[in-house]
Amino acid sequence: MATGVYNRTVSQKALTSVVRTNGTVNGDSVDRGDTNVSVLFVVLTSTLTDGVHTISVDHSDDNSSFTAATTSGGQQGADIVTAAANDDTFFDIGYNGPKRYCRLKVVTSGASTGGVLGAVAIKEGGRKPVAR
């Protein structure tokens, strides 16, 4: 049986990489399936000119009504808070909670020009190799 990270994980876009200005943006939802596998979100920044960008995880049973996931409710790691000093950096945040669906949420405040950031979700495939 094939082993290794490549054979046990699947990645997908979690947050389109664009300029973020004031407001709230929801990322793409990740379906964890019936087995509720864990998800690692890798957030990548580019140029962050100004503003504060707070990234957290939301979760849902039905892929429609999302609520904030807390560290006691499945979010792994603290909310990510980025600012102009965080150009060209990456951050990790995870989810392994009770809900089937999860996604990132970005809240940006204090931005005139904002900053560019995006994210990818890496979903584990469990004990079986994933199909590609």
- Specify which residues 26 forms β-bridges with: 105
User: What is the rounded CA–CA span in Å between residue 132 and residue 130?
Assistant: 6
Answer for the pair 113, 88: CB distance below 8 angstroms, yes or no: no
Residue 6 lies in a domain: no
pLDDT at 8 (0 to 100):
82
Task: With respect to residue 3, please indicate whether it lies within any of the assigned structural domains.
Answer: no
Q: Would you state the pLDDT for residue 15? A: 97
Domain around 87:
11-124
Q: In this structure, what DSSP letter does residue 72 have? A: T
* Residue 4: CB atoms within 10 Å: 8
Q: What is residue 13's three-state secondary structure?
A: strand
User: Is position 5 within any domain?
Assistant: no
DSSP state of 6: H
Strand 101-109, strand 30-31: pairing: antiparallel
Reported as a single tens digit per residue, the pLDDT across 2-56 is 678 888 888 999 999 999 999 999 999 999 987 678 999 999 999 999 999 999 9
Instruction: Give 130's pLDDT tier (boundaries 50, 70, 90).
Output: low
pLDDT band at 112 (very low <50, low <70, confident <90, very high): very high
Share of the chain above pLDDT 90, in %: 81
pLDDT for 5: 83
Residues in the chain: 132
The total number of structural domains that make up the chain: 1
CA distance 119 to 102: 13
Taking residues 71-96, what's their average pLDDT? 94
Residue 113 tokens, joined? 């020009």
Single-letter amino acid, residue 40: L
pLDDT for 127 equals 59
The domain that contains 57 carries what CATH number? 2.60.120.1110
Instruction: Evaluate whether residue 47 is within a structural domain.
Output: yes
